[in-house]
Chains A and B, each alone.
Chain A
Amino acid sequence: MSTFLDHLLNGLLLGGIFALIAVGYSLVYGIIKLINFAHGEVAMFGAFFAFFIFSMFDVDGDLKDHPWIYVLAMVVSIFVTMGLGWLLEFLAYRPLRKASRLSALITAIGASLLLQYLAAVIWSPSVVSFEAPEVFYYELFSVMDGDVLFEVKHLVVFMLVSFCLTLLWWVVEKTRMGKAMRACSQDADAAALMGININRVVAFTFIFGSAMAALSGVLYGLHLEQVRYNMGIQIGIVAFAAAVLGGIGSIPGAVLGGFVIGFTQAMASGYLSDLGDFIGHPLNSGYTEAVAFMIMILCLIVKPNGLLGKGDADRA
């Protein structure tokens, strides 16, 4: 039981992190029908910007005793990554707005590789340490005789994720920009005729998505306590799967998909070997990702538009 709770807690944490990235995929797809494959790399850059701040302040090696540096790094990283997201849209996608969707998709893959190797050249072609502050692991309360620890880490991640998702909901539903975004996603040409500046809306979408990706990248880095230049692919693919599972283009769907994938991954890494013993086939946590994607495929067979997707014939 205690093990199950531990896996559940981990699943929720991973789910929140994936959800933040998955909404970025969904937002962009909803508006310009582009699968932004470089989005995972944007999250990775977010983590590396924070790493850059750490390495600037970490002169005595006692970084983990100064939580305020982490807050600073997080904020700076979010703002710089917003700039990166805008730059990506401006340089890579805007010139191709009128080109075929395939060209834009290929460009996205190219941008993803470019960002990956850029990070390898700028920072490190290897793994870098991304140590979490000590306060991150303070115990808030524990259940089951201290077997399951609810730490500050969980609280921080849950608070930040719910804050971001609420902010996203508020922006999309309650602001003028949100209205413009919704209008663009329904019919971009008509929206332009009504006087909406499409370029501004798209740029805003990228910037907003990148901010959330940056936060997610930093949180994921702190969770793993390591970051590397090619982690963007892994987290990007998982988050993309989450967005598709939830129904790409749908924001609540992306959030739901993120949590479903996170939960499945956590459970799979914990219980696959037991399942393997049960059916007599050597299974183990190495198949975690396969299980997550199998769940996605099964869901899509039953509901081809994703869990919360609308019945839209024109799917990529």
Chain B
Amino acid sequence: MRQYLFVLIALVTLCFSAPAQEKETIKIAVCGPFTGGGADFGRMIAKGVDLKVKEINAAGGINGQKVEWEQLDDASDPNQASTIAQKAADNNKYCSVIGHFNSTCSLAAKPIYRRAGIVSLSPGSTNVDVCQGSDWFFRNLYRDDFQGQYVASYIAKILKLKKVAVIYDNDDYGKGLKNHFKNEAKNLGLELVAEEAYNRDGNLDFNGIVTKIKSKKPDIVFVSGLYSEAAKIAKLLGRKKVKAGVIGGDGVFSPKFIELAKDAAEGTFIITPYVNDVSSSSKIAEFSKKFKAANKGEEPDAWAALSYDAMGTLAQVIAKVGTDRKAIRQGLAAIRSENEAYDGVTGLTYFDKNGDCVKPAIVATVTDGKFAKAKKQLSGSVEEDGHAGHNHGDHDGHDHGDHTGHDHGEKKQGNGLLILIGIIAVVILILVIKKPKS
């Protein structure tokens, strides 16, 4: 008994002495694709977060508490995303999450964070539905309805091209962006000459798709997917001597795209929330300088910048409300207008009632093996239009559009499916009848 007492006393002393030594650190989980086809996004996210955390700690931490971040890998795979989301949610040491990157991963993780009550701030997911239906999911970049409209308007109004071929990734991001692009393209009178899909881990060979697109003679090819596939497509278009440019969504925006596509990347247009254009503001110049110093001269991309800002936004909220998970959510949700916004390198971060964010888009183009701001940007008025629509959420209008589109699709699907099922039934019937004889 005395021994037990001794142990108990020792334990109690230990408990009381530990916090006295140093204030507890604030731990944040960073969930993203650190391996797999999207690993280069993850690499940049890690670097962006790390830079901000180091800055915060160098300045004495948040209210005297040091910040630590830990990376959890979802490998761009929704199954793995829900596993690590559960891990982050169950672990009480994390006060919030930065992530996920891929929209499909964010959608898989969203219900888990909502149930557990932990905030997740995504620096990369643009699918329209990502923040809807959950009070706990936020993002600090634009949505795909805005981006899709933007791509269509840029092709129609600035590039003044007519025939567009679309190649999209068969996941939530690629499909969503393609659908919003398609709706706007119809309104603007663009002609969609081909529409092909691929699965990131299934279709490795794009020769068939590009040959098909070649026969339709498009003016420009819109890739609604990620950089590694976009690089393959850009390269093959060159190899097969197709005279069409390439335009991509923000999923293509990674230095790895240029590394993979090499010369074929030249002249590609990419819509992105951020370009590392040091002449545009002193904030970007300063961030770029710090990032380069920390990473052997490597330039930051949009994801590094957005993650840097995501970490900054969280730090600002935590400084105000503390590390309670619920308080952090209230704090983030309270950032509702430009006056309260977090002013970062990617512009002002503030949220609407869903947790969506309003940010302008920029068109980047590849010149001499580097991303640069395209000379011709979509003019202010159009941008404002898109902006305004986005600002209001414009949900009713959009949902409406979606629904009608969907109904059409389903009607068509019904016919096609019937025929397909019919064919399969006939084949099986023939086989069943034939079987006993042989």
Q: Which of A79-87, A204-212, A264-272, A308-316 contacts B (4 or more CB under 8 A)?
A: A264-272
Q: Is the CB of B211 within 8 A of A10?
A: yes
Would A127 and B208 be within 8 Å (CB), given that A273-B196, A281-B416 are in contact?
no
Q: Is the CB of B431 within 8 A of A301?
A: yes
Q: Is the CB of A270 within 8 A of B211?
A: yes
Partner of B413, one of A226, A273, A282, A284: A282
Q: Is the CB of B208 within 8 A of A285?
A: yes
Q: Tell me, in angstroms, the Cα distance from A149 to B240 when the chains sit together.
A: 8
Q: Is B228 an interface residue (CB 8 A)?
A: yes
Interface extent on B, as a size class?
35 or more
Partner of A281, one of B37, B211, B262, B417: B417
Q: Which 6 A-B pairs have the closest CB atoms?
A: A281-B416, A269-B208, A286-B197, A126-B39, A125-B35, A127-B228
Q: Is the CB of B212 within 8 A of A125?
A: no
Q: How distant is B412 from chain A, measured CB to nearest CB, in Å? A: 5
Q: Is the CB of A127 within 8 A of B205?
A: no
With an 8 Å Cβ cutoff, the count of chain A residues facing the other chain is: 50
Q: Which residues of chain A come closer than 8 Å to B260, judged between CB atoms?
A: 127, 129, 225-226
Q: Tell me, in angstroms, the Cα distance from A273 to B194 when the chains sit together.
A: 9
Q: Is the CB of A289 within 8 A of B202?
A: yes
Q: How distant is A298 from chain B, measured CB to nearest CB, in Å? A: 7
Q: Tell me, in angstroms, the Cα distance from A228 to B431 when the chains sit together.
A: 41
Q: Which residues of chain A come closer than 8 Å to B204, judged between CB atoms?
A: 220, 224, 231, 234-235
20 of the cross-chain contacts (CB-CB < 8 Å) are: A2-B215, A126-B38, A126-B39, A127-B37, A127-B40, A127-B228, A137-B239, A146-B241, A147-B214, A228-B228, A230-B201, A234-B202, A269-B208, A270-B208, A279-B419, A281-B413, A282-B413, A285-B212, A286-B199, A288-B203
Q: Is A39 an interface residue (CB 8 A)?
A: no
Q: Is A95 an interface residue (CB 8 A)?
A: no
Q: Tell me, in angstroms, the Cα distance from A283 to B419 when the chains sit together.
A: 13
Q: Is A14 an interface residue (CB 8 A)?
A: yes
Q: Which residues of chain A come closer than 8 Å to B212, judged between CB atoms?
A: 3, 269-270, 273, 285
Q: Which residues of chain B come closer than 8 Å to A301, judged between CB atoms?
A: 431
Encode contact with A along B365-393: 1 for CB under 8 Å, 0 otherwise: 00000000000000000000000000000
Would A225 and B37 be within 8 Å (CB), given that A10-B207, A234-B204, A288-B203 are in contact?
no
Q: Is the CB of A298 within 8 A of B427?
A: yes
Q: Tell me, in angstroms, the Cα distance from A10 to B194 when the chains sit together.
A: 20
Q: Which residues of chain B come closer than 8 Å to A267, judged between CB atoms?
A: 208
Q: Is the CB of A225 within 8 A of B235?
A: yes
Q: Which residues of chain A come closer than 8 Å to B170, judged between CB atoms?
A: 286
Q: Which residues of chain A come closer than 8 Å to B11, judged between CB atoms?
A: none
Minimal Cβ-Cβ distance residue in A for B194: A273
Q: Which residues of chain A come closer than 8 Å to B39, judged between CB atoms?
A: 124-127
Interface centre among A149, A220, A225, A282 (most CB of B within 10 A): A225
Q: Is B420 an interface residue (CB 8 A)?
A: yes
Q: Tell me, in angstroms, the Cα distance from A120 to B170 when the chains sit together.
A: 25
Q: Which residues of chain B come closer than 8 Å to A285, judged between CB atoms?
A: 196-198, 203, 208-209, 212
Q: Which residues of chain B come closer than 8 Å to A127, judged between CB atoms?
A: 37, 39-40, 228, 256, 260
Encode contact with A along B212-240: 1 for CB under 8 Å, 0 otherwise: 10110000000000001001100100011
